[in-house]
Amino acid sequence: MMLSNALPNSLFLRYIVVLVAAVLVTGCTTLDLVDDDVDTSVDTTSALEQVWNERQTELSSIKYWHLTGRLAVNNGDDAWNLNLDWQQKGDDYQIQINGAFGAGKVKMIGNAHGVLLKDSDDQTFYADTPEMLLYEQTGVFVPVEGLRYWVMGLTSPTQQDKPQLDKKGRLAYLEDANWKVKFKRYTQISGIDLPRKVFLLKNDKELDVRLVVDKWKLGAF
């Protein structure tokens, strides 16, 4: 009340607008996670395609990243709720998956040439690709090689069909190697929109995989 009495109404309103704007700008610079739901309405304008092309270039340049999150996997007969810790350094990766309270922890360390898996009993197993190795040792199937790209909001090298973009030029939906991938929500990290919720469906509900990212870290670590 004292402030409104001290200024004419028009100046008071301008002061409030400027003050609110300043608070919003300050808030955006101090928050790491700004969730943004995906608008899946179709937009195929050339301007949108240009935004998508620029996003691909920017995202592809990120070689080092680390995420922690949760996986829900359902094959129709069995279901798992898992914790996920994924570090990617170029082609090298380290993925740790475990159940509640660390139960059944497994760690995979690999690259384009092969992968090693160590289970909770310290037994070690080797394979050429991570998907079948994880499945054979745990019964859980996760499309690791494709998810490496999808979790970054990118298409994989095997992508053939044109993906669907949202109104901001981000991936909204794609189909790749019998997987239907929906990007449900994004979050902003250091000014870059990255997926926060990604839902995957294979062979008409034969396998359902849902990823929720709780924390992102970009750059060397």
Domain boundaries, the chain: 36-218
CA distance 114 to 181: 25
CA distance 194 to 183: 10
SS3 48: helix
pLDDT digits (tens), the chain, 221 positions: 333 333 344 333 333 333 333 333 333 332 345 566 766 554 556 889 999 999 999 999 999 999 999 999 999 999 999 999 999 999 999 999 999 767 889 999 999 999 999 999 999 999 999 999 999 999 999 999 999 999 999 999 989 899 999 999 999 999 998 999 999 999 999 999 999 999 999 987 789 999 999 999 998 76
CA distances from 188 to 46, 60, 69, 146, 198 (A): 24, 16, 16, 22, 15
H or E element in which residue 178 lies:
none
CATH superfamily of the 36-218 domain: Lipoprotein localisation LolA/LolB/LppX (2.50.20.10)
CA distance 206 to 175: 15
H or E element in which residue 102 lies:
none
Please report, to the nearest 10 degrees, the dihedral formed by the alpha carbons of residues 154, 204, 40, 175 taken in order.
Answer: 30
| pTM for the structure as a whole | 0.80
| Max CA distance (Å), the chain | 76
3-state DSSP helix/strand/coil percent for the chain, to nearest 5?
A: 30, 40, 35
